[in-house]
Structure 1
Amino acid sequence: MNGELWAGFAIASLIVGLLPGPGVTSIVGYALTAGLRTALASVFGATLGNAVAMALSLVGVGVLLADSPGAFFLLKWIGAAYLVVLGGYTMLAARRGSLVADRDVGAIRPRTAFWGTFAITSINPKTIIFFVAFTPQFISPDHGYWLQAALLLATFSAVVTLSDGFYAVAASWIAGFLKGPDVRLWSQRIGGSVLIAAGLLTVAASA
């Protein structure tokens, strides 16, 4: 793979990473509801999930999923249901005032956020099939396939981690201005709504 081909892939990866989707939406939701630490955990969950999805596509699983409507239906609803339930719980807890105090900002644990974004990025069949169509455009037939595939996977993971991290830091920075109890309460409600929206977006993106 020559430098121009790699640079083109890196730029395309950045564009894909900056486009808001279910993963980005959930990261913003975690930032608003639980702070930067939890949001960054969700970023790394998305990184691992994307890496798994890309690896699966590179070994041909995407082709199998494309021919299996049942797998599409099942997998897209697993990730969507997780986010909707978590968002609903967050809004309910905020309504009771249990997330208003500063000591409770981490009510959504980093581990929960990590596995949540991992689930919606790694088991989204459309993500896998996207990689099936996307990555071959940047594979040179004059060089070894697996070495190029590994380079593309590492590049995409690094670029998208940076773009997701930007969203996490920006949303957390905005949430940092929400200091008052009433404002914090509404930020928790908005964050829960964003998580529910991420779940619905997961279904829409996989339809």
Structure 2
Amino acid sequence: MDSECWSAFLLASLVTAFTPGQAILLAVSNTLERGRSHALVSSSGNIAGLFIVAGAAAAGLGLLMQELPWTLQALRIGGALYLIYLGLQPWWPARPTRIASVPRTPAPTRRDLFMQGLTVAATNPKGLLFFGALFPQFVGTGPGLAARFLALTLSFAACTLVAHAVYILAAPWAGARLRDRVSPASGRKLAGSLFVLLGLGLLLA
């Protein structure tokens, strides 16, 4: 692959990675609610999900979506419903604990956060369209296919990691300026509402 082709792919990857979507919203939400280290766990799951989507694209996902458009619709609806599920969680009544009378919602484990990121990546229409439609044009065919596939996938994953890191680092700075105006519970509900709206937007798209 020549440098001009790789540069074009890198530019497309950066634009796609930095465009706010459900993966970025999940990273920001987890940063404000649980801290940067937990947000990095969900972002790691998102990176793993991207490799799954890229592998599916290499296996013929793009052709499948062209021949059977309902497959993309099914993934889009599944992803939208999952976002709505995540968004409704802060609004659900908290479960009372046996130790204290104060209601408390069980905190998600690192495995839960990792799976959140992976599920969002695997059902993200933006990523599916990128790898299903644009990615094959850069990978091409012929000798060196495996090397090109690995290089481009790693490049996209690196761009995604950089984008998440920027948002994760900036989220506490923005959150600190809103803390005096919005309570933590209200902040979680606000983030949840954004997830719900994003999910509804995917359903109506």
For normalisation by structure 2, the TM-score amounts to 0.79
Corresponding pairs, count: 197
Name structure 2 gaps, 5 residues minimum.
97-103
1:29 counterpart = 2:34: no
Change (3 A) 1:72 1:177: same
- Once the two structures are TM-superposed, the CA of residue 51 in structure 1 deviates from its matched residue by 1.7
- Once the two structures are TM-superposed, the CA of residue 176 in structure 1 deviates from its matched residue by 4.4
- Once the two structures are TM-superposed, the CA of residue 168 in structure 1 deviates from its matched residue by 2.1
The runs of at least 4 aligned residues of structure 1 exceeding 4 Å deviation read 140-143, 176-182
- Give a deviation string over 1:130-181, Cα, whole Å, max 9, x none: 3232123434668522211111011111111111221122223333456569
- Once the two structures are TM-superposed, the CA of residue 62 in structure 1 deviates from its matched residue by 2.4
- Once the two structures are TM-superposed, the CA of residue 30 in structure 1 deviates from its matched residue by 2.4
Residue equivalent to 1:81 = 81
Cα distance in 2, alignment partners of residues 93 and 30 from structure 1 = 20
Higher relative contact order (CA 8 A, sep 6+): 1
Moved more, 64-73 or 13-22: 64-73
Residue equivalent to 1:186 = 186
- Give a deviation string over 1:27-86, Cα, whole Å, max 9, x none: 222223333222222211211112211221122122113333443343223322222122
1:145 counterpart = 2:145: yes
Cα distance in 2, alignment partners of residues 197 and 112 from structure 1 = 22
Change (3 A) 1:107 1:174: farther
Could you say which structure has the higher helix fraction? 1
Residue equivalent to 1:135 = 135
Residue equivalent to 2:197 = 197
Moved more, 154-163 or 17-26: 17-26
For normalisation by structure 1, the TM-score amounts to 0.78
Identity level (%): 28
Q: Answer yes or no: is the 8 Å Cα contact 1:30–1:195 preserved in 2.
A: no
1:90 counterpart = 2:81: no
Change (3 A) 1:201 1:54: farther
Q: Secondary structure at the match of 1:107?
A: coil
Q: What is the RMSD of the two structures over their aligned residues, measured on CA atoms?
A: 3.0
Residue equivalent to 1:173 = 173
Name structure 1 gaps, 5 residues minimum.
97-103
Cα distance in 2, alignment partners of residues 105 and 172 from structure 1 = 22
Q: Answer yes or no: is the 8 Å Cα contact 1:175–1:187 preserved in 2.
A: no
